[in-house]
Amino acid sequence: MRYISELHEGETISITYLCKNKQMLKTKAGKSYCSLALQDKTGILDAKIWEMSNAIENFEAMDFIHVDGQLTCFQGALQLNVRRIRRAQEGEYDPVDYIPTSKRDIKEMFGELLTYVNSIKNPYLSKLAKSFFVEDNEFQKAFMYHSAAKSVHHSFMGGLVEHTLGVTKLSDYLAMNYPFLNRDILVTAAMFHDIGKTVELSNFPENDYTDDGQLLGHIYIGTEMVGERIRSIPGFPHKLSAQLRHCILAHHGELEYGSPKKPATAEALALSFADNTDAKMQTVREVLENADEKQEWLGYNRFFESNIRRSEK
Amino acid sequence: MRYISELHEGETISITYLCKNKQMLKTKAGKSYCSLALQDKTGILDAKIWEMSNAIENFEAMDFIHVDGQLTCFQGALQLNVRRIRRAQEGEYDPVDYIPTSKRDIKEMFGELLTYVNSIKNPYLSKLAKSFFVEDNEFQKAFMYHSAAKSVHHSFMGGLVEHTLGVTKLSDYLAMNYPFLNRDILVTAAMFHDIGKTVELSNFPENDYTDDGQLLGHIYIGTEMVGERIRSIPGFPHKLSAQLRHCILAHHGELEYGSPKKPATAEALALSFADNTDAKMQTVREVLENADEKQEWLGYNRFFESNIRRSEK
Amino acid sequence: MRYISELHEGETISITYLCKNKQMLKTKAGKSYCSLALQDKTGILDAKIWEMSNAIENFEAMDFIHVDGQLTCFQGALQLNVRRIRRAQEGEYDPVDYIPTSKRDIKEMFGELLTYVNSIKNPYLSKLAKSFFVEDNEFQKAFMYHSAAKSVHHSFMGGLVEHTLGVTKLSDYLAMNYPFLNRDILVTAAMFHDIGKTVELSNFPENDYTDDGQLLGHIYIGTEMVGERIRSIPGFPHKLSAQLRHCILAHHGELEYGSPKKPATAEALALSFADNTDAKMQTVREVLENADEKQEWLGYNRFFESNIRRSEK
Amino acid sequence: MRYISELHEGETISITYLCKNKQMLKTKAGKSYCSLALQDKTGILDAKIWEMSNAIENFEAMDFIHVDGQLTCFQGALQLNVRRIRRAQEGEYDPVDYIPTSKRDIKEMFGELLTYVNSIKNPYLSKLAKSFFVEDNEFQKAFMYHSAAKSVHHSFMGGLVEHTLGVTKLSDYLAMNYPFLNRDILVTAAMFHDIGKTVELSNFPENDYTDDGQLLGHIYIGTEMVGERIRSIPGFPHKLSAQLRHCILAHHGELEYGSPKKPATAEALALSFADNTDAKMQTVREVLENADEKQEWLGYNRFFESNIRRSEK
Amino acid sequence: MRYISELHEGETISITYLCKNKQMLKTKAGKSYCSLALQDKTGILDAKIWEMSNAIENFEAMDFIHVDGQLTCFQGALQLNVRRIRRAQEGEYDPVDYIPTSKRDIKEMFGELLTYVNSIKNPYLSKLAKSFFVEDNEFQKAFMYHSAAKSVHHSFMGGLVEHTLGVTKLSDYLAMNYPFLNRDILVTAAMFHDIGKTVELSNFPENDYTDDGQLLGHIYIGTEMVGERIRSIPGFPHKLSAQLRHCILAHHGELEYGSPKKPATAEALALSFADNTDAKMQTVREVLENADEKQEWLGYNRFFESNIRRSEK
Amino acid sequence: MRYISELHEGETISITYLCKNKQMLKTKAGKSYCSLALQDKTGILDAKIWEMSNAIENFEAMDFIHVDGQLTCFQGALQLNVRRIRRAQEGEYDPVDYIPTSKRDIKEMFGELLTYVNSIKNPYLSKLAKSFFVEDNEFQKAFMYHSAAKSVHHSFMGGLVEHTLGVTKLSDYLAMNYPFLNRDILVTAAMFHDIGKTVELSNFPENDYTDDGQLLGHIYIGTEMVGERIRSIPGFPHKLSAQLRHCILAHHGELEYGSPKKPATAEALALSFADNTDAKMQTVREVLENADEKQEWLGYNRFFESNIRRSEK
């Protein structure tokens, strides 16, 4: 397959892309046309259907479509003038080519996460963790193939498991080095802290905020998911439940970052540091990887409120 | 009964009070003694048991106790030196004397609130509202005899229903005057916005933050209470549920005031204004009522960040 | 008349518009031309006079002009190449077509406001209110046909009376429901709170910040207008005057919103809530009305610091 | 006269003081007594009248009274037990002894300020300045014998003229060194910037916020005083008036410091720097003068948000 | 030895303490006396010398003194009325008893830190680290026996090495798990990040801010110490020097926390997270250890802006 | 020479410019070309080399080059299509034509600054000041021909000496009018406060942030420069050194403006006011000078957070 990042002006192409967006618009002169956003894992291509004809079959946004057309340059950017479109058949394309994906093996990361699930000694927390990560296939699948964000850090398939693993490992390190921490609460909270994102963001290839996500947010959603499951585990101690859910509610660390409570326990504090550290380390990694290797100063970054510099090797 | 606000130094008393707090302490010289906080609806009295004896029967914090002793003055405040204590019998005292209470009739206010419950036309919202306010006796009782705060505004029995009624009425006014608002969503959200306080604060006479209250907060708790109940109503539309819960989650208006989401719908905005207006009107009312009627300037108030002035009549 | 919102590329037109702006510019090649902004109540049209000739008669910005020309498309927007211009005669056009106007009847709203003027019992406040709203024809006219803003909410003719009425009604509601409020002070302050806008913003069709408006602001200007009028009413009680003016000065609620004093009286607080509520309700109404009816999420709004969502009907 | 700062425990005194405050209170035991705050320019003395008798003549707060009594020590502070009180006769005391006063000669400072009044070339600004500082005797007197604050910097008699002179001189320096500044506007605005304090604070010996001061503030009051006077000067240019009043309105530099407008002209900016610099220099001077000369670090100062250090000589 | 925490009212004692503070004061009645603050590692005792006599030998603040006297209770706190004082001889006391000290073995922690020094591969960074931690005896001693703070976290002897080790270990963890980090820069910066505290705070037993510390701060001081040493190492790469010093300058993460630069490199970011995490983990540890083991809610903590709760074990 | 501000579309030119930037890019069609930024003291010109040929000689960014080509207009801006390029010879051009420069004579300003150097009485401060401004030729040259900023105020050659002189003069004024200030410390600190900018910004014509500048900042760099020089002056009093360096460290006045310490001495406070006042006066001067003389309102300025208005003359 030829990736969007490799296309040139003037080419005539016949390729399958994901149709991320489809809109009927009118020219100034009042003529209708159709504007599409085509996507693969390397980028997005603007396409126009100026004339509706038999060559344009039925399709919807989020379909994989096979397009024929010619590439021109409009206002400094590539534009595809579409001549033919048909829905692609399963088998004609590999969805993986259309979705940005973690560089690490997703199943391997999930496997590593399971070793943490299995390390929890408190029987109630252990049961809770297994009920999601081991026994709940639907959750497992959603969790493994989700991103941890729409854009910013970890916004690729597998991003959620990669970030969760990073936070869990760092939480485990903290539990070992600051022994007054309750490791079981901290590590369990780390594994669950972002599960609300499986609802806040839609699945790939869409990976966009859902209606529930925008109205309720992953912090509330994830805490409620855990609360509901706990109610199905007989004898789960009430205080343990409240403390675990507190860690999830408070993991953004500050009210102005969307946590309705500030961390009040040592574990909630530790989780908020682990989450922030992994998120920021990944953010700076993406800044460094996306810039030219020879560049020293990479430009102002609004997350870090600083111009970012690549260090000496 | 003689109220704490009426006691004088030098008196010998024999009265029933609520024991709000009980602590074993040591003097500098190492001698043990017991320190009590006695309460009625007019205030709090510091009491000490210097000598344990047969005259001091068993009792715990939150018991109503009948105390004998003498009032002295220590560092400018009244102190009771206790000679005898026994648990008071039900019937000996009227709990109402020990609890600050709304000046308005609680049942009347609740009745007025029910007229709003009955005015909701959307069948699902109506069913939801009735399931709490009409059919759930336990909730009804907790809701009616709760405060809306530990201190600040509406921190008295009936405060929760009084505040909820004030917000609901103002929401109704807004729905009438700004007709693009969805009245059913707004009025329902108004009735439910603070129900999490039935869990966040313990019942009177204690009226203090609970463990759950401090760890999770009434915003999360109340939203989850509504979410759980909705799951028991067949066919409740998902979007309606999300929009209603959004109003509750967002009713503090700003992330830094503990809402994990800013208001995103017209109803959520309207509710946040109604809540804030009723809360602040009650706060200023309490400032005015607690000050000498002849005083014009009542001193700096940290909620309003201003010296408050009584206006001309 | 054909409105700007209805024009198409390629048309040749001959229509009267308001010339909101007129500038002499030079092309890169050093040739002079004239750039105009033409306006009607539906929008703004960019026009160019490339060649000065006899066909272009004298005119100034803010004149109504009759233009002939051809519509082309430049960088994605309509542009009028002007061939003839002459000043339009009174009678040829209806100014109302060139000015965005309230959907409600202005005189009716003003009439409703007068019922509040007539409801004031305090003789001094009543006299003051009537001296503006009943006896001062010039003020009356300026007030009725003003906007309440250059852009944002109520930025149309009649916007000032519409907003003032909204705030006054809500103030009346609050006075009724929170009886410790002094209704006369609150309702009078509500009617006067934004009268400084008659000076801060120029009349339609210009509706832009005046020099005085930018240097002094409507809060200072309005308070001074009231202060000066009060000095002409014999025996007006000094304290009443100070409290009324305080409400006007403090109605933005916070120093950082331009009030030089925070609200210190119950009425000043109530007014600041009423003002904020009406302003925000209108803002969200305009967001909802300006968006496609079928769209659920309407995009990020910087006033509300949130993506705004249309609710279920 | 013996100053309060020189009194010792155990002494019997018979001295005239200013009665700044007078309150009837009750002991815990229900007995009435009268509590006084006596003041001279060196401090404040707590006094009690335990027994009302013929020896206690009629007097009110703000009277100069001659007291007889004995000094005791209560909770680590001096307390006067009063035996006799009578109102002091004019002539028996020198009010100057009771009022903290500038170290500089007030008339000399006012004379220096007049040289700036006389240096203004613009005829309208000159007329305006003279109408206050030369022709308005009542204003002159109020201005000369006022403080510039209740507490903080320049809170002594003559403080207003001392601060105004400091700001005017610095403004003159800036006008000379940054010649694009309009010296007449800047220097006039400097002289007028705090005249509202003659209304915001009551005269000595009271020197406290007035009702108007708290409700309206010296920024609004002073701007309005200038505006009213300008209306009595025929032909005063409107733009000049607006720009001058803008400087006064904006002289606190930031909305959150109580200016309803940010400085928009070079002169308004310059004035805000001059005002801030003189105020802070005086504040640090008072910190240094009030501390032991040998101390290097003088403790945390909340205005400067720093521990303050005395420098090497 | 008997510790201050064990003393009782009424005892007569004869013990050696550290005299942390000595002041000559006057009673209200004008009589001179001497007020002392005596310290050991468990707390501070207020002592008074009411009568100077031969029994009171010469001594200064920061001397170890042997005091005889009687313990009384004044305003609820223990006070020692001193009868005799003499300077204690070396050998009479063990300074360790007078200084709060880390629970971990200081030399062992320093040894562990040296393993990190030895793990640095870059020859220049290695040379720099060894020049301080291995070759500079005076620095080594100051570093080992210093606190990391006057109060808050790690304010005990050995606190600086304990905190530095915690940050270095966590930095090493981050370097391992986020391999794009330059481990040598990060680990070196971690070891040096707080060395300025050896100058900012005086040695024990004083452990207070020095004049330089208050005027310049440990961030500037430490960065300059490293800069000066680097100038003595021939060939030290300039960019490496700037990047290392940047990490130290930026380690507080935010300008408002006293770093004159925000972190601009991945290592500077990582160091700021490691520093913050170790500091906060120690702070919460101290909160938990200083509270009664049975208490769940430990009270509001201003660093965490939350009431802190002890978790389930 | 013809300045960039005077060029027109359509011209063929043959002129020497400074090549500020040089980049190899590719067209959409994959063809390589070279993009240049040409500069003189009046502005910047975009230039393209579409065809590499013998006519294009070797050159680098920051070379002065003689270019032949034709001016076209691309997307509304001038663009030079280059035909020939050769490096210009020294003598062919006057570097002064390529660098924005102070309107005041640089040597004269430096001479005026030297009179302040000579006025310092403290022998150590005098020696320090002379060691830089009189004896250190390299520093002198760097200082005189530097800007005080990359953009904003004083971003032209001579800007550093002009700003330093303005701050020093104002500091001298303050020392004279507020005699508790130590003039020697204040005036010396004023002269040194921005010397770190000689390292933070590269020399003209580049005048951009250096690597050290971005990583360490002029505040740290300048303080360290002074600290190092002081170590070479025998007997320089330590406290004087700390207080002087404190003034430099703290001259931005607030932590969030990049000072790692808030001003703690009267001189540090005075310096921060003098620096801020001169910087803002120059900023507003540049705003006024860069706008059309007839314009009253000059548009929103983000430094002043206000629309700026030109005052009456």
Q: What's the mean pLDDT in A13-27?
A: 86
Q: What CA–CA distance (Å, rounded) separates A297 from A275?
A: 27
* pLDDT exceeds 60 at position B28: no
In a domain, D124, yes or no: yes
For residue B93, give the CATH number of its domain. 2.40.50.140
Q: What CA–CA distance (Å, rounded) separates E139 from E160?
A: 12
Q: What CA–CA distance (Å, rounded) separates E146 from E207?
A: 8
Tens digit of pLDDT for each residue in C200-239?
A: 999 988 899 999 999 999 999 999 999 999 999 999 999 9
In a domain, B46, yes or no: yes
Between β-strands D12-26 and D64-74, what pairing exists: parallel, antiparallel or unpaired? antiparallel
What does the pLDDT read at residue C28?
56
Closest CA relative to residue E125, chosen from E233, E250, E266, E272? E233
Is A262–E310 a contact, with Cβ atoms under 8 angstroms apart?
Answer: no
Tens digit of pLDDT for each residue in B91-104?
A: 889 888 888 889 99
Report helix, strand or coil for D40. strand
- Domain C-terminal end among C69, C97, C125: C97
Least confident stretch, A99-108, C272-281, E287-296, F226-235: E287-296
* pLDDT exceeds 80 at position B173: yes
Q: Which residues does chain F have within 8 Å of residue E227's beta carbon, measured at their own beta carbons?
A: 224
D73 touches chain E (CB under 8 A): yes
In a domain, F158, yes or no: yes
Claim to verify: residue A272 and residue A193 sit in the same structural domain: yes
Is F256–E255 a contact, with Cβ atoms under 8 angstroms apart?
Answer: yes
Place of tokens 């507190």: A246
In a domain, B295, yes or no: no
For residue E148, give the CATH number of its domain. 1.10.3210
Which value does ipTM take for this structure?
Answer: 0.87
What does the pLDDT read at residue A28?
56
In a domain, F313, yes or no: no
What does the pLDDT read at residue B205?
85
A28 touches chain C (CB under 8 A): yes
Tens digit of pLDDT for each residue in D67-81?
A: 999 998 776 678 899
Q: Which residues does chain E have within 8 Å of residue B29's beta carbon, measured at their own beta carbons?
A: 8-10
Is D296–E214 a contact, with Cβ atoms under 8 angstroms apart?
Answer: no
What does the pLDDT read at residue D28?
56
The answer to whether A234 and E306 have CB atoms below 8 angstroms apart is: no
Distance of residue B272 Cα from the nearest chain E Cα, in angstroms: 24
Q: What CA–CA distance (Å, rounded) separates B215 from B226?
A: 19
Considering chain B, what is the average pLDDT of its residues? Answer: 93
Q: Which residues does chain F have within 8 Å of residue E269's beta carbon, measured at their own beta carbons?
A: none
Phi first, then psi, for residue E166 (nearest 5°) are -60, -45
Q: DSSP characters for D219-245?
A: HHHHHHHHHHHHHTSTT--HHHHHHHH
Q: What's the mean pLDDT in B112-119?
A: 98
Q: Is the peptide bond before A260 cis (omega within 30 degrees of 0)?
A: no
Tens digit of pLDDT for each residue in E1-31?
A: 788 988 988 889 999 999 988 888 776 556 7
Claim to verify: residue D120 and residue D206 sit in the same structural domain: yes
Report helix, strand or coil for A263. coil
**Selected residue with higher pLDDT from A263 and D101:** A263
Q: What's the mean pLDDT in E232-255?
A: 98
Claim to verify: residue B90 and residue B105 sit in the same structural domain: no
Is C228–D228 a contact, with Cβ atoms under 8 angstroms apart?
Answer: yes
Number of domains in chain F: 2
Which of A28, A211, A214 comes nearest C78 by C-beta? A28
Claim to verify: residue D62 and residue D119 sit in the same structural domain: no
In a domain, C120, yes or no: yes
C78 touches chain A (CB under 8 A): yes
Considering chain E, what is the average pLDDT of its residues? Answer: 93
Distance of residue B28 Cα from the nearest chain E Cα, in angstroms: 6
Q: What's the mean pLDDT in A178-203?
A: 97
Q: Which residues does chain D have within 8 Å of residue C242's beta carbon, measured at their own beta carbons?
A: 211-212, 215-216
Q: What CA–CA distance (Å, rounded) separates E63 from E85?
A: 11
- Domain C-terminal end among C55, C74, C97: C97
CA atoms within 13 A on the CB side of C61: 10
Residues contacting residue A114 through CB under 8 Å, at least 6 positions apart: A133, A134
Could you tell me which chain B residue has the CA closest to the CA of C271? B277
Q: What's the mean pLDDT in B27-53?
A: 82
C-alpha pair distances (Å), F293 with each of D150, F289, F312, F313: 44, 8, 11, 11
Distance of residue C116 Cα from the nearest chain B Cα, in angstroms: 16
Report helix, strand or coil for E153. coil
In a domain, E103, yes or no: yes
**How many contacts (CB atoms, under 8 Å) link C and F?**
18
Distance of residue C214 Cα from the nearest chain F Cα, in angstroms: 8
Distance of residue C222 Cα from the nearest chain D Cα, in angstroms: 11
Chains that touch C (3 or more CB pairs under 8 A): A, B, D, F
- Domain C-terminal end among A71, A97, A123: A97
Claim to verify: residue D32 and residue D165 sit in the same structural domain: no
Claim to verify: residue A108 and residue A83 sit in the same structural domain: no
Residues of chain F with pLDDT under 70: 27-30, 75-76
Q: What's the mean pLDDT in C246-263?
A: 97
Least confident stretch, C106-110, C289-293, D13-17: C289-293
Q: What's the mean pLDDT in A130-140?
A: 97
Tens digit of pLDDT for each residue in C14-73?
A: 999 999 888 887 765 567 788 999 988 887 899 999 888 888 888 988 899 999 999 987
In a domain, D296, yes or no: no
C25, C27, C28: best to mutate for the F interface, most F CBs within 10 A: C28
Claim to verify: residue B124 and residue B68 sit in the same structural domain: no
One-letter identity of residue C6: E
Q: Which residues does chain D have within 8 Å of residue C261's beta carbon, measured at their own beta carbons?
A: 215-217, 220, 258
Is A10–F29 a contact, with Cβ atoms under 8 angstroms apart?
Answer: yes
**Selected residue with higher pLDDT from E253 and A74:** E253
What does the pLDDT read at residue E76?
64
What does the pLDDT read at residue E30?
61
Q: What CA–CA distance (Å, rounded) separates A183 from A191?
A: 12
Report helix, strand or coil for F47. strand
What does the pLDDT read at residue B75?
63
Angle between helices D183-192 and D106-118 in degrees, nearest 10: 150
Claim to verify: residue C77 and residue C123 sit in the same structural domain: no
Q: What CA–CA distance (Å, rounded) separates D240 from D237?
A: 5
Q: Do chains A and D touch (3 or more CB pairs under 8 A)?
A: no
Q: Domain of D65?
A: 4-97
**How many contacts (CB atoms, under 8 Å) link A and F?**
16
Which of B28, B214, B215 comes nearest E78 by C-beta? B28
Tokens standing for E53?
């006599």
**Selected residue with higher pLDDT from B184 and F78:** B184
Between β-strands E32-40 and E12-26, what pairing exists: parallel, antiparallel or unpaired? antiparallel
Tens digit of pLDDT for each residue in E143-184?
A: 999 999 988 789 899 999 999 999 999 999 999 999 999 999
Least confident stretch, A253-257, C160-164, C201-205: C201-205
- Give residues 130 to 169 of D whose Cβ lies within 8 Å of F: 166, 169
Which of B8, B296, B307 comes nearest D29 by C-beta? B8
Longest dimension (CA), chain E: 72
Claim to verify: residue F78 and residue F113 sit in the same structural domain: no
* pLDDT exceeds 90 at position B211: yes
Claim to verify: residue E84 and residue E111 sit in the same structural domain: no
Q: What CA–CA distance (Å, rounded) separates F313 from F309?
A: 12
F215 touches chain A (CB under 8 A): yes
What does the pLDDT read at residue F29?
59
B27, B28, B200, B256: best to mutate for the E interface, most E CBs within 10 A: B28
Claim to verify: residue E200 and residue E128 sit in the same structural domain: yes
Distance of residue C34 Cα from the nearest chain D Cα, in angstroms: 30
Is D264–F307 a contact, with Cβ atoms under 8 angstroms apart?
Answer: yes
What DSSP designation does B200 have? H
Tens digit of pLDDT for each residue in B220-276?
A: 999 999 999 999 999 999 999 999 999 999 999 999 999 999 999 999 999 999 999
What does the pLDDT read at residue B266?
98
Q: What's the mean pLDDT in E54-69?
A: 90
Q: Do chains C and F touch (3 or more CB pairs under 8 A)?
A: yes
Tens digit of pLDDT for each residue in D4-35?
A: 988 988 899 999 999 988 888 776 556 778 89
> Is the four-CA dihedral D202, D208, D211, D217 of positive or negative sign?
positive
Claim to verify: residue A125 and residue A84 sit in the same structural domain: no
